[in-house]
Amino acid sequence: MNSPNEHPQAADQGEAHLRSILATVPDAMVVINEAGSILSFSAAAEKMFGYTEAEVVGENVSLLMPSPDRERHDGYLEHYRQTGERKIIGIGRVTTALHRDGYTFPIELSIGEAWLGERRIFTGFIHDITQRQQTDVRLRDLQGELAHVGRVSEMGTLASSLAHELNQPLTAITNYCEAARDLLNEAATPEVLAMVREALDEAAQQSLRAGEIVKRLREFISRGEIERHRESLPRLITEANALALVGSREHGIEVQVELDPTADDVLADRIQIQQVLVNLIRNGIDAMIESDLRVLTIRTESKDERLVLVSVEDTGSGISEDFAAQLFQPFVTSKKTGMGIGLSICRTIVEAHGGHIWFEPHPDGGTIFKFTLPKPGPT
């Protein structure tokens, strides 16, 4: 049986051992209470965020988050306290964090929950994925682009059969319209007018059929069937931001996100719209690398009762007129690497969602890419 004097020593040794482990864990560790106040901040967290532990203890953890997460975090904690519904605790999430110097960087966040007596605490382990995932993300992108090119090549083999399919309704439309024109050269009797009307009805039917063929073609190009669900636009943007910022930390990009609270929900295929956002954000970052001002601004705006407008604005040197005309065509690029099909994929995806994508020059230089997405219908 152990003597009572051995327990305090064992407890001290245990705590010292735990502290030494925590001090060497490469991931940043931040412990907060139920109100979101920082209780402890590891050495790795100090290095990651640019604050000392003494400076942040007692501050709200939202200090480490960019908008919109910063102003929503207290609400997330309150929601969890009231409902116990876990959206990130024990699940993990890729998101973005805010450095003291004002730039955002992508992180992988894991959160655990514990009770110290009656006091609940949350421990966040934060992994800066800027470097580690750079190769993985780029590889995934390349695989995706190659698969898309593969489908476009497949399109080449399907082109002849589709041309044949389209040729039929187009020929029929021509024939019916010519017949209607020839009939109108005769006297406009009720019988003649009835025949003209019938010819034009048939022409209209054939044009609808041609439209269906084109629609099937576009769905094929956009990587198969789109699955659209009600999605949170701020969440899509945060996650796309995190993926797009991988590999960009040394460029010190300042990301500003300005959200219209009436444009929170969209009807979208989450993966595909994230792909559009990642593409536009990466293009914006690439455009600014040589600029002395590197600010990327992402805005959402409710356009009307049906549509949301998303814009991605950079402070680069703008797009030359030579490229502007062909920017959304495949295999057109000003970059040294890449196949130049990113924007053509973006256009296919956005248009498959019923939206439009375009760009405008920024009055101060730089470029603003804009696209629209549908809102969910009334539930």
Q: Is 46 in the site for other proteins (CB under 8 A)?
A: no
- The single-letter DSSP state of residue 59 is S
* Residues 310-369 within binding reach of other proteins (CB under 8 A): 364
Which stretches of the chain are assigned E, i.e. beta strand? 28-33, 38-41, 93-98, 104-116, 119-128, 229-232, 254-258, 265-268, 295-302, 307-313, 357-361, 367-374
Q: Is 59 in the site for other proteins (CB under 8 A)?
A: yes
Query: How far, in Å, CA of 124 to CA of 134, rounded?
Result: 23
**What single-letter amino acid sits at 221?**
I
For the bound state, the minimum distance from the C-beta of residue 366 to other proteins, rounded and expressed in Å, comes to 11
Q: Which stretch binds other proteins (CB under 8 A): 20-28, 57-65, 150-158, 211-219?
A: 57-65
* Residues 245-264 within binding reach of other proteins (CB under 8 A): 256
Q: Which of 74, 202, 265, 301 contacts other proteins by CB under 8 A?
A: 74
Q: Is 3 exposed, middle or buried (0-12, 13-18, 19+ CB in 10 A)?
A: exposed
Q: Which of 12, 13, 15, 71 contacts other proteins by CB under 8 A?
A: 71
For the bound state, the minimum distance from the C-beta of residue 92 to other proteins, rounded and expressed in Å, comes to 23
Q: Which of 100, 140, 218, 229 contacts other proteins by CB under 8 A?
A: 100
Query: How far, in Å, CA of 183 to CA of 175, rounded?
Result: 12
Q: Which of 33, 40, 60, 302 contacts other proteins by CB under 8 A?
A: 60
For the bound state, the minimum distance from the C-beta of residue 246 to other proteins, rounded and expressed in Å, comes to 22
For the bound state, the minimum distance from the C-beta of residue 102 to other proteins, rounded and expressed in Å, comes to 5
Q: How many residues bind other proteins (CB under 8 A)?
A: 23
Nearer to other proteins, 292 or 305 (CB): 292
Q: Which of 55, 165, 265, 286 contacts other proteins by CB under 8 A?
A: 55
* Residues 107-126 within binding reach of other proteins (CB under 8 A): none
Q: Is 40 exposed, middle or buried (0-12, 13-18, 19+ CB in 10 A)?
A: middle
Which residues are 107's β-sheet partners?
A: 95, 128
Q: Is the dihedral of CA 338, 344, 348, 353 positive or negative?
A: positive
Q: Is 290 in the site for other proteins (CB under 8 A)?
A: no
Q: Which of 290, 292, 305, 322 contacts other proteins by CB under 8 A?
A: 292
Q: Is 51 in the site for other proteins (CB under 8 A)?
A: yes
Q: 24 vs 44, 135, 145, 197, 261, CA distance in Å?
A: 8, 26, 40, 83, 42
For the bound state, the minimum distance from the C-beta of residue 132 to other proteins, rounded and expressed in Å, comes to 25
Strands 295-302 and 119-128: unpaired
Nearer to other proteins, 63 or 172 (CB): 63
Buried b (16+ CB within 10 A) or exposed e, 248-281: bbeeebbbebebeeebbebbbbbebbbbbbbbbb
Q: Which stretch binds other proteins (CB under 8 A): 60-68, 86-94, 279-287, 340-348?
A: 60-68
- Residue (of 154, 163, 108, 155) closest to 130 by Cα position: 108
Buried b (16+ CB within 10 A) or exposed e, 337-356: ebbbbbbbbbbbbbebbebe
For the bound state, the minimum distance from the C-beta of residue 62 to other proteins, rounded and expressed in Å, comes to 4
For the bound state, the minimum distance from the C-beta of residue 128 to other proteins, rounded and expressed in Å, comes to 19
Q: Is 33 in the site for other proteins (CB under 8 A)?
A: no
Nearer to other proteins, 80 or 328 (CB): 80
Q: Which stretch binds other proteins (CB under 8 A): 61-69, 87-95, 305-313, 343-351?
A: 61-69
Q: Is 138 in the site for other proteins (CB under 8 A)?
A: no
Q: Is 56 in the site for other proteins (CB under 8 A)?
A: yes
**Residues near other proteins, by CB under 8 A:** 36, 51, 55-56, 58-60, 62-63, 66-68, 70-71, 73-74, 100-102, 256, 292-293, 364
